[in-house]
Amino acid sequence: MTTSGTRVFNLDVGEIIEEAYERCGLEVRTGYDARTARRSLNLMFADWANRGLNLWTVAQATTNLVQGTSTYTLLPDVVDMLEMVLRRGGTDYEVERISRGDYLNFPNKTDQGRPSQFYFNRQIDPVITLWQVPENSTDQLVYYYVQRIEDVNTLVNTTELPFRFFPCMVAGLAYYLSMKRAPERIQILKAVYEEEFMRAADEDQDRVPLKLQPSSRYLRA
Protein backbone atom coordinates (compact mmCIF):
# COMPACT_ATOMS: atom_id res chain seq x y z
CA MET A 1 0.00 0.00 0.00
CA THR A 2 1.35 3.40 -0.99
CA THR A 3 0.94 6.31 1.44
CA SER A 4 1.56 10.02 0.96
CA GLY A 5 4.55 10.16 3.30
CA THR A 6 3.53 13.66 4.38
CA ARG A 7 1.98 15.10 7.53
CA VAL A 8 1.43 18.70 6.51
CA PHE A 9 -2.34 18.92 5.98
CA ASN A 10 -3.59 22.39 6.82
CA LEU A 11 -6.57 24.60 6.05
CA ASP A 12 -6.45 28.24 5.10
CA VAL A 13 -9.20 30.56 6.27
CA GLY A 14 -11.03 30.36 2.96
CA GLU A 15 -11.25 26.57 3.19
CA ILE A 16 -12.39 26.73 6.81
CA ILE A 17 -15.18 29.15 5.88
CA GLU A 18 -16.18 27.07 2.88
CA GLU A 19 -16.44 23.89 4.96
CA ALA A 20 -18.46 25.67 7.65
CA TYR A 21 -20.93 27.08 5.13
CA GLU A 22 -21.34 23.64 3.56
CA ARG A 23 -22.29 22.22 6.97
CA CYS A 24 -25.00 24.87 7.07
CA GLY A 25 -26.21 23.76 3.63
CA LEU A 26 -24.98 27.03 2.11
CA GLU A 27 -22.30 28.38 -0.21
CA VAL A 28 -19.97 31.36 -0.03
CA ARG A 29 -21.32 33.63 -2.76
CA THR A 30 -20.31 37.18 -1.87
CA GLY A 31 -17.53 39.10 -0.18
CA TYR A 32 -19.88 39.81 2.69
CA ASP A 33 -20.39 36.07 3.23
CA ALA A 34 -16.65 35.69 3.76
CA ARG A 35 -16.36 38.84 5.87
CA THR A 36 -19.12 37.88 8.29
CA ALA A 37 -17.59 34.40 8.63
CA ARG A 38 -14.17 35.86 9.47
CA ARG A 39 -15.81 38.02 12.11
CA SER A 40 -17.55 34.98 13.61
CA LEU A 41 -14.28 33.04 13.62
CA ASN A 42 -12.50 35.78 15.57
CA LEU A 43 -15.40 35.96 18.04
CA MET A 44 -15.21 32.21 18.52
CA PHE A 45 -11.48 32.43 19.28
CA ALA A 46 -12.28 35.09 21.90
CA ASP A 47 -14.79 32.69 23.45
CA TRP A 48 -12.13 29.98 23.56
CA ALA A 49 -9.98 32.24 25.73
CA ASN A 50 -12.87 32.32 28.22
CA ARG A 51 -13.32 28.55 28.17
CA GLY A 52 -9.99 27.81 29.77
CA LEU A 53 -6.39 26.91 29.08
CA ASN A 54 -5.28 25.99 25.57
CA LEU A 55 -1.77 24.58 25.80
CA TRP A 56 -0.66 25.81 22.39
CA THR A 57 -1.37 29.41 23.48
CA VAL A 58 0.97 29.24 26.49
CA ALA A 59 4.01 31.47 26.05
CA GLN A 60 6.94 32.54 28.22
CA ALA A 61 8.13 36.09 28.79
CA THR A 62 10.67 37.93 30.89
CA THR A 63 10.40 41.36 32.51
CA ASN A 64 13.35 43.25 33.94
CA LEU A 65 12.57 44.76 37.33
CA VAL A 66 13.35 48.32 38.38
CA GLN A 67 14.18 49.19 41.96
CA GLY A 68 11.29 51.00 43.62
CA THR A 69 8.78 50.19 40.85
CA SER A 70 5.99 47.80 41.79
CA THR A 71 3.66 47.97 38.75
CA TYR A 72 4.51 46.74 35.24
CA THR A 73 2.49 46.81 32.03
CA LEU A 74 2.47 43.48 30.21
CA LEU A 75 2.20 42.66 26.52
CA PRO A 76 -1.29 43.37 25.15
CA ASP A 77 -1.71 39.73 24.06
CA VAL A 78 -1.66 38.47 27.68
CA VAL A 79 -5.03 36.85 28.45
CA ASP A 80 -4.14 35.31 31.81
CA MET A 81 -1.12 34.61 33.99
CA LEU A 82 -0.12 31.08 34.93
CA GLU A 83 3.14 30.64 36.84
CA MET A 84 5.77 33.22 37.77
CA VAL A 85 9.22 33.13 39.33
CA LEU A 86 11.71 35.81 40.31
CA ARG A 87 15.17 35.09 38.93
CA ARG A 88 18.05 36.35 41.07
CA GLY A 89 21.65 35.36 40.48
CA GLY A 90 20.72 32.16 38.67
CA THR A 91 18.20 31.07 41.31
CA ASP A 92 14.42 31.10 40.76
CA TYR A 93 12.01 31.97 43.57
CA GLU A 94 8.29 31.36 43.28
CA VAL A 95 6.05 34.44 43.08
CA GLU A 96 2.53 33.66 44.25
CA ARG A 97 -0.56 35.13 42.61
CA ILE A 98 -2.97 36.91 44.96
CA SER A 99 -6.33 38.62 44.55
CA ARG A 100 -7.08 42.33 44.41
CA GLY A 101 -8.54 42.12 47.90
CA ASP A 102 -5.44 40.43 49.30
CA TYR A 103 -3.23 43.15 47.85
CA LEU A 104 -5.55 45.87 49.14
CA ASN A 105 -5.17 44.54 52.67
CA PHE A 106 -1.38 44.78 52.71
CA PRO A 107 -0.59 47.59 55.21
CA ASN A 108 2.85 48.47 53.81
CA LYS A 109 2.65 48.53 50.02
CA THR A 110 5.85 50.55 49.67
CA ASP A 111 8.13 48.15 51.56
CA GLN A 112 11.07 47.08 49.42
CA GLY A 113 12.41 43.54 49.35
CA ARG A 114 12.38 40.43 47.21
CA PRO A 115 8.93 40.25 45.55
CA SER A 116 7.06 37.12 46.60
CA GLN A 117 3.49 37.87 45.47
CA PHE A 118 1.77 39.55 42.55
CA TYR A 119 -1.67 40.88 41.70
CA PHE A 120 -2.76 40.54 38.06
CA ASN A 121 -5.05 43.33 36.88
CA ARG A 122 -6.81 42.12 33.72
CA GLN A 123 -7.32 45.44 31.98
CA ILE A 124 -7.29 46.02 28.21
CA ASP A 125 -3.57 46.64 28.74
CA PRO A 126 -2.92 44.11 31.54
CA VAL A 127 -0.64 45.04 34.43
CA ILE A 128 0.88 43.26 37.39
CA THR A 129 1.64 44.75 40.78
CA LEU A 130 4.33 43.18 42.95
CA TRP A 131 4.69 42.89 46.68
CA GLN A 132 7.19 43.60 48.04
CA VAL A 133 8.46 46.45 45.86
CA PRO A 134 11.66 45.36 44.04
CA GLU A 135 14.79 46.21 46.00
CA ASN A 136 17.16 46.19 43.01
CA SER A 137 17.26 46.53 39.22
CA THR A 138 19.00 43.23 38.51
CA ASP A 139 16.19 40.77 39.25
CA GLN A 140 13.95 39.43 36.49
CA LEU A 141 10.41 38.10 36.39
CA VAL A 142 10.03 34.96 34.29
CA TYR A 143 6.46 33.85 33.71
CA TYR A 144 4.17 31.69 31.63
CA TYR A 145 1.01 33.27 30.32
CA VAL A 146 -1.97 32.46 28.11
CA GLN A 147 -1.50 34.28 24.81
CA ARG A 148 -4.34 35.68 22.75
CA ILE A 149 -4.99 33.73 19.54
CA GLU A 150 -3.93 35.67 16.45
CA ASP A 151 -6.64 37.41 14.43
CA VAL A 152 -8.02 36.03 11.18
CA ASN A 153 -7.97 38.80 8.60
CA THR A 154 -7.58 37.36 5.08
CA LEU A 155 -8.82 34.24 3.34
CA VAL A 156 -5.29 33.04 2.56
CA ASN A 157 -4.21 33.11 6.20
CA THR A 158 -3.77 29.88 8.08
CA THR A 159 -4.67 29.66 11.76
CA GLU A 160 -2.19 29.02 14.55
CA LEU A 161 -4.14 26.04 15.88
CA PRO A 162 -2.72 22.53 16.20
CA PHE A 163 -4.27 20.12 13.72
CA ARG A 164 -6.25 18.28 16.41
CA PHE A 165 -8.39 21.42 16.82
CA PHE A 166 -9.37 21.61 13.13
CA PRO A 167 -12.62 19.60 13.56
CA CYS A 168 -13.58 21.76 16.55
CA MET A 169 -12.81 25.00 14.71
CA VAL A 170 -14.87 24.09 11.64
CA ALA A 171 -17.75 22.76 13.74
CA GLY A 172 -17.74 25.90 15.86
CA LEU A 173 -17.76 28.23 12.89
CA ALA A 174 -20.62 26.27 11.34
CA TYR A 175 -22.59 26.69 14.55
CA TYR A 176 -21.86 30.42 14.69
CA LEU A 177 -22.92 30.85 11.06
CA SER A 178 -26.10 28.84 11.61
CA MET A 179 -27.27 31.43 14.16
CA LYS A 180 -27.18 34.00 11.35
CA ARG A 181 -27.94 32.00 8.23
CA ALA A 182 -29.41 28.57 9.03
CA PRO A 183 -31.46 28.71 12.25
CA GLU A 184 -33.04 25.32 11.52
CA ARG A 185 -29.61 23.70 12.01
CA ILE A 186 -28.60 25.50 15.20
CA GLN A 187 -29.30 22.65 17.62
CA ILE A 188 -27.54 19.90 15.72
CA LEU A 189 -24.53 22.06 14.84
CA LYS A 190 -24.23 23.28 18.42
CA ALA A 191 -24.25 19.69 19.69
CA VAL A 192 -21.53 18.69 17.21
CA TYR A 193 -19.45 21.74 18.15
CA GLU A 194 -19.66 21.14 21.90
CA GLU A 195 -18.73 17.47 21.43
CA GLU A 196 -15.75 18.37 19.26
CA PHE A 197 -14.62 21.08 21.68
CA MET A 198 -14.84 18.76 24.66
CA ARG A 199 -12.85 16.08 22.84
CA ALA A 200 -10.13 18.56 21.84
CA ALA A 201 -10.02 20.22 25.28
CA ASP A 202 -9.74 16.86 27.06
CA GLU A 203 -6.77 16.00 24.85
CA ASP A 204 -5.17 19.42 25.36
CA GLN A 205 -3.93 18.81 28.88
CA ASP A 206 -0.52 18.79 30.49
CA ARG A 207 0.14 15.17 31.33
CA VAL A 208 2.31 14.48 34.36
CA PRO A 209 3.19 11.17 36.02
CA LEU A 210 0.87 10.05 38.79
CA LYS A 211 2.61 10.42 42.14
CA LEU A 212 1.16 8.70 45.20
CA GLN A 213 2.23 9.93 48.62
CA PRO A 214 1.23 7.99 51.75
CA SER A 215 -0.50 9.80 54.55
CA SER A 216 1.82 11.00 57.31
CA ARG A 217 0.16 8.67 59.83
CA TYR A 218 1.59 5.69 57.96
CA LEU A 219 5.10 7.13 58.20
CA ARG A 220 5.20 7.26 61.98
CA ALA A 221 7.65 4.97 63.63
pLDDT in tens, 17-71: 999 999 999 999 999 999 999 999 999 999 998 887 577 788 999 999 999 999 9
Q: What band does 216 get if pLDDT is binned at 50, 70 and 90?
A: very low
Report d(CA 71, CA 145) in Å as an integer.
Answer: 17
Q: Please name which of 116, 85, 119, 92 lies closest in space to residue 103, comparing C-alpha atoms.
A: 119
**Residue ranges of the alpha helices (H) in the chain?**
13-23, 31-51, 100-104, 166-181, 186-203
User: With 60 as the cut, is the pLDDT of residue 220 above it?
Assistant: no
Predicted pLDDT at 53? 58
How many CA atoms within 13 Å lie on the side-chain side of 131? 18
Chain-centroid distance of CA 208 in Å reads 20
Q: Please name which of 113, 105, 147, 107 lies closest in space to residue 130, comparing C-alpha atoms.
A: 113
Q: What band does 207 get if pLDDT is binned at 50, 70 and 90?
A: low
Predicted pLDDT at 195? 96
Question: Model-level pTM?
Answer: 0.77
Q: Indicate the pairing of strand 117-121 with strand 112-113.
A: unpaired
